[in-house]
Chains A and B, each alone.
Chain A
Amino acid sequence: MTTMTFGRAINTGLRKAMENDPRVVIIGEDIGALGGVFRITDELQKDFGAHRVIDAPLAESAILGTAVGMAYRGYRPVCEIQFDGFIYPAFDQIVSQVAKLHYRTRGRVRMPLTIRVPFGGGIGAAEHHSESPEAYFTHTSGLRVVAVSNPQDACTVIQQAIASDDPVLYFEPKRRYHTKGDVDENALEDALPMDRARVEVPGTDVTLVTYGALVQTAREAARAAEDDGVSVEVIDLRSLSPLDYSTVEASVRKTGRLVVTHEAARTGGLGAEIAASLTERCFYYLEHAPVRITGMDIPYPPAKMERHHLPDLDRILDGVDRVLGRPNSLTGLED
Chain B
Amino acid sequence: MSLPGTDPTGPLNDESYIQLLAPDGTRITSAEFDPWLEDIDGDRLAGLYEDMVVVRRLDQEATALQRQGELALWPPLLGQEAAQIGSGRALRKDDFVFSSYRENGVAYCRGVDLTDMIRVWRGNRPSGWDPYEINMATPQVIIGAQTLHATGYAMAAKFDGDDAVAVAYFGDGATSQGDVNEAMVFAASFQAPVLFFCQNNQWAISEPVGLQAQGKLSDRAPGFGIPSYRVDGNDVLACLAVTRKALDHARIGGGPSFIEAVTYRMGPHTTADDPTRYRDANELEDWKRRDPIDRLAALLSAEGLLDEALRQRVQQAADDAAAEMRAGCINMAEPGDLELFENVYTAPHPVLARQRQHYERYLDSFEAAEWGH
A73 to B183, CA, bound (A): 17
Of residues 61 to 85 in A, which have CB atoms within 8 Å of B's CB atoms? 61-62, 64-75
Whether A110 is near chain B, meaning CB under 8 Å from some CB there, is: yes
Contact stretch, chosen from B2-10, B73-81, B346-354: B346-354
Of residues 176 to 209 in A, which have CB atoms within 8 Å of B's CB atoms? 195
Q: Which residues of A contact B189 (CB under 8 A)?
A: 57
Q: Which residues of A contact B137 (CB under 8 A)?
A: 72, 109
Whether B309 is near chain A, meaning CB under 8 Å from some CB there, is: no
Contact stretch, chosen from A97-105, A150-158, A211-219, A294-302: A97-105
A70 pairs with B127, CB closer than 8 A = no
Q: Which residues of B contact A142 (CB under 8 A)?
A: 344-345
Of chain B, the residue at the smallest CB distance from A64 is B148
Q: Which residues of A contact B342 (CB under 8 A)?
A: 106-107
A62 to B147, CA, bound (A): 9
Other-chain residue from A65, A166, A242, A246 in contact with B179 (beta carbon distance below 8 A): A65
A102 to B344, CA, bound (A): 7
Whether B320 is near chain A, meaning CB under 8 Å from some CB there, is: no
Whether B360 is near chain A, meaning CB under 8 Å from some CB there, is: no
Q: Which residues of B contact A57 (CB under 8 A)?
A: 182, 185-186, 189
With most chain B CB atoms within 10 A of its CB, the pick from A51, A97, A106 is A106
B159 pairs with A93, CB closer than 8 A = no
Known A62-B186, A102-B345, A104-B126: A243·B351 in contact at CB below 8 Å: yes
A188 to B318, CA, bound (A): 58
- Residue-wise, chain B 122-153 has the 8 Å CB interface mask toward A (1 for contact) of 00011100111000011000100101111111
B145 pairs with A69, CB closer than 8 A = no
Size of chain A's interface in residues, with CB distance under 8 A?
A: 46
Q: Which residues of A contact B350 (CB under 8 A)?
A: 195, 242, 244-246
Q: Which residues of A contact B179 (CB under 8 A)?
A: 61-62, 65, 92-93
Whether A303 is near chain B, meaning CB under 8 Å from some CB there, is: no
Q: Which residues of A contact B145 (CB under 8 A)?
A: 65, 92-93, 96-97
Of residues 129 to 144 in A, which have CB atoms within 8 Å of B's CB atoms? 141-142, 144
Whether A279 is near chain B, meaning CB under 8 Å from some CB there, is: no
B343 pairs with A107, CB closer than 8 A = yes
Whether B155 is near chain A, meaning CB under 8 Å from some CB there, is: yes
Of chain B, the residue at the smallest CB distance from A112 is B346
A74 to B344, CA, bound (A): 19
Known A61-B178, A242-B350: A108·B132 in contact at CB below 8 Å: yes
Whether B40 is near chain A, meaning CB under 8 Å from some CB there, is: no
Known A51-B159, A67-B152, A97-B142: A102·B346 in contact at CB below 8 Å: yes
- Residue-wise, chain B 325-361 has the 8 Å CB interface mask toward A (1 for contact) of 0000000000000000011111101111000000000
A103 pairs with B126, CB closer than 8 A = yes
Q: Which residues of A contact B147 (CB under 8 A)?
A: 65
Of chain B, the residue at the smallest CB distance from A62 is B182
A65 pairs with B159, CB closer than 8 A = no
Known A56-B186, A57-B189: A69·B344 in contact at CB below 8 Å: no
Q: Which residues of B contact A64 (CB under 8 A)?
A: 148
Whether B96 is near chain A, meaning CB under 8 Å from some CB there, is: yes
Whether B242 is near chain A, meaning CB under 8 Å from some CB there, is: no
A222 to B150, CA, bound (A): 51
Q: Which residues of B contact A144 (CB under 8 A)?
A: 345
Whether B209 is near chain A, meaning CB under 8 Å from some CB there, is: no
A242 to B356, CA, bound (A): 14
B160 pairs with A106, CB closer than 8 A = no
Other-chain residue from A65, A93, A103, A164 in contact with B347 (beta carbon distance below 8 A): A164
Whether A165 is near chain B, meaning CB under 8 Å from some CB there, is: yes
Q: Which residues of A contact B186 (CB under 8 A)?
A: 56-57, 59, 62, 66
Q: Which residues of B contact A246 (CB under 8 A)?
A: 350
A73 pairs with B182, CB closer than 8 A = no
Q: Which residues of B contact A51 (CB under 8 A)?
A: 159
Whether B108 is near chain A, meaning CB under 8 Å from some CB there, is: no
Q: Which residues of B contact A70 (CB under 8 A)?
A: 152-153, 155-156
Whether B72 is near chain A, meaning CB under 8 Å from some CB there, is: no
A253 to B345, CA, bound (A): 30
Of chain A, the residue at the smallest CB distance from B132 is A108
- Residue-wise, chain B 201-238 has the 8 Å CB interface mask toward A (1 for contact) of 00000000000000000000000000000000000000
Q: Which residues of A contact B183 (CB under 8 A)?
A: 62, 65-66
Whether B264 is near chain A, meaning CB under 8 Å from some CB there, is: no
A69 to chain B, nearest CB (A): 2
26 A-B pairs (CB sep. < 8 Å): A59-B178, A62-B148, A62-B182, A62-B185, A68-B152, A69-B149, A69-B153, A70-B152, A70-B155, A73-B160, A93-B148, A96-B142, A96-B145, A102-B343, A102-B345, A105-B138, A105-B343, A106-B127, A106-B343, A108-B132, A141-B344, A141-B352, A142-B345, A166-B346, A166-B347, A242-B350
Seen from chain A, the residues whose Cβ lies within 8 Å of a Cβ on chain B are 25, 51, 56-57, 59, 61-62, 64-75, 89, 92-93, 96-97, 102-110, 141-142, 144, 164-166, 195, 241-246
A56-B186, A105-B131, A242-B351 given. 5 additional CB < 8 A pairs? A65-B148, A69-B149, A69-B155, A102-B343, A166-B347
The list of the 10 closest CB pairs from A to B, nearest first, reads A69-B152, A65-B148, A66-B152, A69-B153, A62-B182, A73-B156, A165-B346, A69-B149, A107-B343, A59-B182
